[in-house]
Structure 1
Amino acid sequence: MQRRTALALAACLVLGTAACSDPGADTATDSGPATWASPTAKLDGVSLTIWAAQNSNTVPKKVIEGFQAATGAKVNVVTIPDPYEQGVQTRVATGDKPDLAFWQPTASMLTAINAKTNLQPLTDAPWLGQLSPELKDITGILDKTRYAALVTSPAVEGVYYNKEVFAANGVTATPKNFAEMVADARALKAKGVTPFYEMGADRWATQWWVQIQLADAARSGLWDKINTKQETFGGPVVLDAIKQYKALIDEGLFNGDIKTAKFEDQGKALLDGKAAMVVQVNSFFGQLQATADTATLDKRIGFFPISPSGNVGTFIPDQSNALVAFRTGDGKREAAARQLLAYWMGPGYADFVADRKTVSLEPSVPSPAGVPQALLDVHKSLGTAVGSMQALAVANPDLYINLADMITGTMSPEKVASATQAQFEQLAKAAGAPGF
């Protein structure tokens, strides 16, 4: 998940191996553009391995069944224990590579896995023209080369809300910007409703509150400025967002048990109407889907993107959204890995989205019945969404840990900013970012 990104990059510091020491170096040799076989061409005797995390190891089940039946290949899924990203990097650094793996398709995480050396380019993939135009180049690219195949809709930071709580307390329309959302929260609190629910004990979602406030700045190049030392986490843009988050907590707009509340408490509170809003990403809705059917979710839960200026979402693709194909040195298996991706996003895609009850990325393949409206709205927001820290920064420090420490009272906003900046610089240097 997103909270492990900094840990994954930190593995470079620990390993000290060639795979991490110079992530920008390209030691691989190419014989020219990759060839793409027919998605259903016979592959009798070929065996492929996919690495997956504990929350993504069942994702390819339907695709694998169809691909094996069509081609005669064998595909094995190997679950890498959490923390997934660190485990993958450690294995790859020692020369252990799968044929394919689920991987967060952001530039920073492609750098962390040393994409130029370890991954097959997918620039000319045959399915790219079938993707919705706004999704084709949204992620998966490093230095103008595509290394990741997006298979599901990227996560978006935004606001999940309880429709019934809004209606019962006179909130007749969703907020049009961050200030309107805060005004609605204050009106809800005045009526005895808990406006926002935060999972301080599990920590990782705390960063979304800062990042949604930075959406407009991100659109104006904030992360490019931080990447090039023109701006820092201690500058007024980021620090003011941290201070605003603390001010809202101090005002009492969050749940009283914010310090001890966990992820599962957050979902239950929103679904049960004990809180009005939650700032979260798609994995949060997955929790709701595990406890309620689509009819119930459509009745109770809605979604809206938010930023200071309007309804702008912040996208943050995670490892369950995309796959990468490794350079293994075995040309036959490398070609078969590409063929599996072409099958996944080609003949097998309709069955895949139907099996997962997920939003289709291809206009020619309709999203299946039963996808909750909130998820459709999340996907719709991608057309105008901006990149998150995870998507656009050259390194992703543990902002969420520092914010959680602020919630418990052991860090000030200024200390959160300075500690985050210090780690960012360390990770950027480990990733080989210019100027660090």
Structure 2
Amino acid sequence: MASTLPSRRNFLALAGLTALSVSMTAACGTGGSGGGASADGKVRFEWWNIATTEPGKSLFPQIATAFTTAHPNVAINTTSLENEAFKSKLTATTSSGKLPDVFQTWGGGVLQQQVDAGLVEDLTDLLDWSSELTPVSLQAYQFGGRTYGVPYDIGMVGFWYNKKLFAKAGITTPPATWAEFLDDVRKLKAAGVTPIALAGKEKWPGHYYWAYLAMRVAGLPALEKAATTKDFTGAGFVQAGVHLKELVDLQPFQTAFLGAGYATPGGQAATMGNGKAAMELMGQWGPSVQKDAGADLGADLGFFPFPTVDGGVGRATEVFGGGGGFALRKGAPKEALDFLKFFVLENESKLLASNGYLPVVKGAESQLTDANKKVVAGSLVKATGFQLFLDQAYPPAVGQEVNDSVADLIAGKKTPEQVTASITEAAKSA
């Protein structure tokens, strides 16, 4: 995610998390990490989020202020951190057995480890409004039939592209297959256009390529099986790396991409937003971060799903992605959950109007006005399969290794076979 994403997602290993034996059974309102009633009689709780870029940078404080205005007995202490800084800080505080009252989460393996350590509130019996949310948006926050998080955004990763630069290269239709995609990369280079912007420094954007190729070649069942058997050395996973190397060998990325950040000045989003690259593989938040870090491409911006791979078993209707949500620490004040209900249900229209998020409330997709957002939402509605970001779906150490190994492949430091071996080793050790 940008700092409003999820997105994304170079997860640091939650050191020592599974060994924690911390009791977090304080009654609601007592506040184990800064939350609870204070000397002035107000209920105070901590809220950690990653809204450091627009639209969340402005919108999130507005929503918090609206809530405290309507509930003068509540005070919210907000901490907004850039994506990687947030994950590093949360890892440290988790390892100490503490979590903020309300904290950003993308669900999956990271949240599950926090749940297994007894640090997260089970919301199942408290969310009497969960039926108003779409099932796919809740999926990443549910384990064993229980719910541990509240989503505010959901979407998928795909290619955002510059129509003007495609036209310059003589490309009239977005590619539908990997072979066509590689041909288009060659056409863009021949036209003097940088084909792809990539934040090589942050690693998580690079893992999108390998993950999608694994889905397209080996298929979703293979990813599910690998998660269970802890073996990613199958031919389909190796082939995913081979196809990614085909792309890397074309040198499609911007100059100095290995040192580029995502939302930083001159980074991936700015390179794309300023029209200096033709494509970026990114989630639903992509356009808003492009605008915040660079410029608004407006009508020149288009979207197409990740191509299929000839001979692969995966289909174009199987999507890869995720969204953003919030979880509560065990024993957080009940007002914290009231805030999440207010944030999601009563402010869904504002979230969608900001053009930075996709709907999690049933029926809210009708409020979308942006053409590209409609395409993404429509793809989700028609999806025949869904895979959460691998660096979230798997345990933290495994997700970290996916990011690191794929980054090494892109940098020319690992072979496709070495990537799968390293991920397998991490999975067996997790």
CA distance in 1, matches of 2:275, 2:354: 30
The residue type equivalent to 2:179 in the other structure is A
Distance 1:402 1:59, change over 3 A: farther
Cα distance per residue 1:128-174 (max 9 Å; x no partner)? 222345x34432111221101001234x2211111111223332222
The residue type equivalent to 1:91 in the other structure is T
Corresponding residue of 1:109: 110
Given candidates 398, 420, 423, the residue that maps to 1:417 is: 420
- How far is 1:188 from its partner? 3.4
Matched, 1:359 2:364: no
Structure 1 segment 244-323 matched on structure 2, within 5 A: 244-255=243-254, 257-263=256-262, 264-291=266-293, 296-308=296-308, 310-312=315-317, 314-317=319-322, 321-323=324-326
Corresponding residue of 2:164: 164
The residue type equivalent to 2:246 in the other structure is A
CA distance in 2, matches of 1:353, 1:299: 19
5+ unaligned residues in a row in structure 1: which ranges? 20-25, 31-43, 429-436
CA distance in 2, matches of 1:139, 1:285: 24
Corresponding residue of 1:381: 379
RMSD over aligned Cα atoms: 3.4
CA distance in 1, matches of 2:176, 2:327: 37
Matched, 1:130 2:132: yes
Corresponding residue of 1:34: none
Structure 1 segment 97-246 matched on structure 2, within 5 A: 97-106=99-108, 108-114=109-115, 117-124=118-125, 125-132=127-134, 135-154=136-155, 156-216=156-216, 220-229=220-229, 232-246=231-245
Corresponding residue of 1:336: 335
CA distance in 1, matches of 2:8, 2:362: 31
CA distance in 2, matches of 1:178, 1:352: 34
Corresponding residue of 1:74: 75
- How far is 1:234 from its partner? 2.3
SS at match of 1:234: coil
CA distance in 2, matches of 1:102, 1:375: 23
Corresponding residue of 2:327: 324
CA distance in 1, matches of 2:236, 2:212: 12
- How far is 1:288 from its partner? 0.8
Given candidates 75, 90, 93, the residue that maps to 1:91 is: 93
- How far is 1:356 from its partner? 7.0
SS at match of 2:79: strand
The residue type equivalent to 2:214 in the other structure is L
Distance 1:178 1:76, change over 3 A: same
Corresponding residue of 2:16: 12
Q: Is the 8 A contact 1:118 1:326 kept in 2?
A: yes
CA distance in 2, matches of 1:194, 1:325: 43
CA distance in 1, matches of 2:66, 2:110: 30
SS at match of 1:316: strand
**TM-score where L is the length of structure 1:** 0.77
CA distance in 1, matches of 2:24, 2:259: 48
Q: Is the 8 A contact 1:316 1:391 kept in 2?
A: no
5+ unaligned residues in a row in structure 2: which ranges? 1-5, 28-40, 309-313
Corresponding residue of 1:36: none
- How far is 1:198 from its partner? 3.1
Distance 1:58 1:317, change over 3 A: farther
CA distance in 2, matches of 1:389, 1:411: 19
SS at match of 2:118: helix
CA distance in 1, matches of 2:43, 2:121: 18
The residue type equivalent to 2:328 in the other structure is A
Distance 1:46 1:398, change over 3 A: same
Q: Is the 8 A contact 1:205 1:280 kept in 2?
A: yes
Distance 1:324 1:115, change over 3 A: farther
The residue type equivalent to 1:62 in the other structure is Q
Corresponding residue of 2:43: 46
- How far is 1:199 from its partner? 3.4
- How far is 1:403 from its partner? 2.7
The residue type equivalent to 1:390 in the other structure is D
- How far is 1:48 from its partner? 2.1
Q: Is the 8 A contact 1:158 1:279 kept in 2?
A: yes
SS at match of 1:123: coil
Identity %: 21
Matched, 1:401 2:398: no
Corresponding residue of 1:38: none
Q: Is the 8 A contact 2:207 2:402 kept in 1?
A: yes
- How far is 1:303 from its partner? 1.4
Q: Is the 8 A contact 1:242 1:413 kept in 2?
A: yes
Cα distance per residue 1:291-342 (max 9 Å; x no partner)? 566xx43322111121425534643335xx10002222xxxx5322222222
CA distance in 2, matches of 1:363, 1:3: 24
- How far is 1:214 from its partner? 2.0
Distance 1:351 1:415, change over 3 A: closer
Q: Is the 8 A contact 1:6 1:396 kept in 2?
A: yes
Q: Which moved more, 1:216-225 or 1:97-106?
A: 216-225
